[in-house]
A and B are shown apart, each in its own frame.
Chain A
Amino acid sequence: MGLLDGKICIVTGGSGSVGMASARTFLREGGEVMVVDLREADVKRATDALASPNVAGFAADVSDAAQTKAYIDATVSRWGKIDVLFSNAGNPGQAAPLTEYPEDVFDKTLAIHARGAFLACKYGIPQMNDGGSIIITSSLAGVRGGNGGNISYITAKHAQIGVMRAAARAAAARNIRVNSLNPGPIDNAFQTNIENAITKMTGVNATELFNSQIPLKRHGHPDEIAGVALFLASSLSSFVTGAVLMADGGMTS
């Protein structure tokens, strides 16, 4: 008996490390999973790797309203109404000093994270079952300012907490819970690329610097973030809504 038996789940950013680890966990716990990501090839790679009759894929830009409706509709027409909506897609922004920060990067990062989460809630909630769960992947960068070198990412991750709190209030009447998942540094390509850029900008090895600042002295593993997502997706967290769940190895403590 799984924690998500028969639950219909959507995971955006589903071919990334956290998305795919979560999709695998959700499948193991009995869910049906729609993997959403930007590029068709990445979606196919993920669904091939997940190799389950209970998985499907859909390519969509989460910052686009029509494409958001499309991935929602595709899920509903395949399996029925949605129980778990994991708005997890993100982009890394760019490491650059504030006074040189490109406007187009700022706009794009806000669009993917904040507009993407907003659209997922706006078009997802009407197609969700009462009692469902929405999870938004924010970040340590959603509650802290970082090193000052990636203002679009920090701003976007903070904005997602605002989306989450307002949506939690709005969806509570239908017993739909909305929470944010805030990982610290994760051991994956997305984070490594960010750290390499910081290393280049500051001249200090960012990966080692992070590890020295994390009480558990290591990065998180994607499977560990998937464990938090499972808690939030399942009835284990049935009275948890409007909450920020840190999974940061103690970095904010």
Chain B
Amino acid sequence: MGLLDGKVCVITGGAGSVGLASARLFVREGARVMLVDLREADLARAAAEIGGGAVATRTADVSRVEDVKGYIDATVKQFGKIDVLFSNAGNQGVVTPVTDYPEDVFDSVIAVHVRGAFLACKYGLPQMNDGGSIIITSSIVGVRGDGGGACAYVTAKHAQVGLMRSVAKGAARRNIRVNTLHPGPIDNEFQLRIEQGITKLAGRDGTELLNEAIPLHRHARPDEVARSALYLASDLSSFTTGATLLVDGGMSA
């Protein structure tokens, strides 16, 4: 008996490390999962890794209305109404001082994270079952600042918390819970690129710099973040909504 038996789940950023690890775990716990990501090739690779008939895929730019309607509709058509909507897609922007930060990069980081989560809620909620769960991947930098180089990313991750709190209030009457997941540094490609930027800016190894600031003295594995997503997706968290769940090895303690 799985924690998500018979549940229909959508995971955006589904071909990335956290998305894919979550999809694998959700399927193992009995769910059917629609993986959403930007590129067809990434999705095909992700779906092949999981295998079986419990996974479907759909390409979308999560910041575009038509694409969002597209992945929601495709999910409902394929599996029925949605129980778990995991808005997890993100982009990292660049690491550079604010005075050099390019406007177009700033806008695109806000669009993917904030507009993306907004559109997921706006078009996803009407197609969700009562009692469902929405999870938005924010970050440790959704509750505190960074070293000073990632202003777009920090802004976007904070904004997602505001969005989550507001949506949680409105969705509560249908017993749909809405929470944010806040990973600290994760051992994956996405984070490594950010850390290479930190290395350049700080003149020291960005990965080691972060490990020193994490009480558990290591990065998270993607499957550890997935297990926190499972908690928020499942009935284990049935009285938790409007909450920020830090998964950061103690970094913000």
Contacts and interface: CB of A to CB of B under 8 A. Distances in A.
Interface of A: 164-165, 168-169, 172-173, 175, 177, 183-184, 215-217, 220-221, 224-225, 227-228, 230-231, 235-253
Interface in B218-253: 220-221, 224-225, 227-228, 230-231, 235-253
- Return the 4 tightest CB-CB contacts between A and B, nearest first: A253-B242, A242-B253, A172-B215, A215-B172
Given A231-B237, A242-B250, A253-B242, A236 B230 contact: yes
B132 to A, nearest CB: 13
Given A246-B242, A250-B177, 8 more contacts: A164-B253, A173-B215, A227-B237, A242-B215, A245-B245, A246-B244, A253-B168, A253-B242
Nearest to A172: B215
Given A238-B227, A239-B184, A239-B247, A230 B236 contact: yes
A227 B172 CA distance: 19
Given A169-B253, A238-B227, A215 B245 contact: no
A243 B253 contact: yes
A216 B228 contact: no
Given A231-B231, A241-B215, A242-B253, A217 B239 contact: no
Contacts of B249: 172, 239, 241
A interface secondary structure, majority: mixed
B253 A247 contact: no
B215 A250 contact: no
Contacts, number: 133
Contact of A172 (B183, B221, B250): B250
A253 B169 contact: yes
Given A215-B172, A247-B240, A253-B241, A236 B228 contact: yes
Interface of B: 164-165, 168-169, 172-173, 175, 177, 183-184, 215-217, 220-221, 224-225, 227-228, 230-231, 235-253
A231 B184 CA distance: 18
B241 A228 contact: no
Among B177, B228, B249, which residue has the most Cβ atoms of chain A within 10 A?
A: B249
A140 to B, nearest CB: 11
B250 A227 contact: no
B172 A250 contact: yes
A241 to B, nearest CB: 4
A237 B253 contact: no
B237 A239 contact: no
A19 to B, nearest CB: 17
Given A236-B228, A240-B247, A217 B173 contact: yes
A12 to B, nearest CB: 22
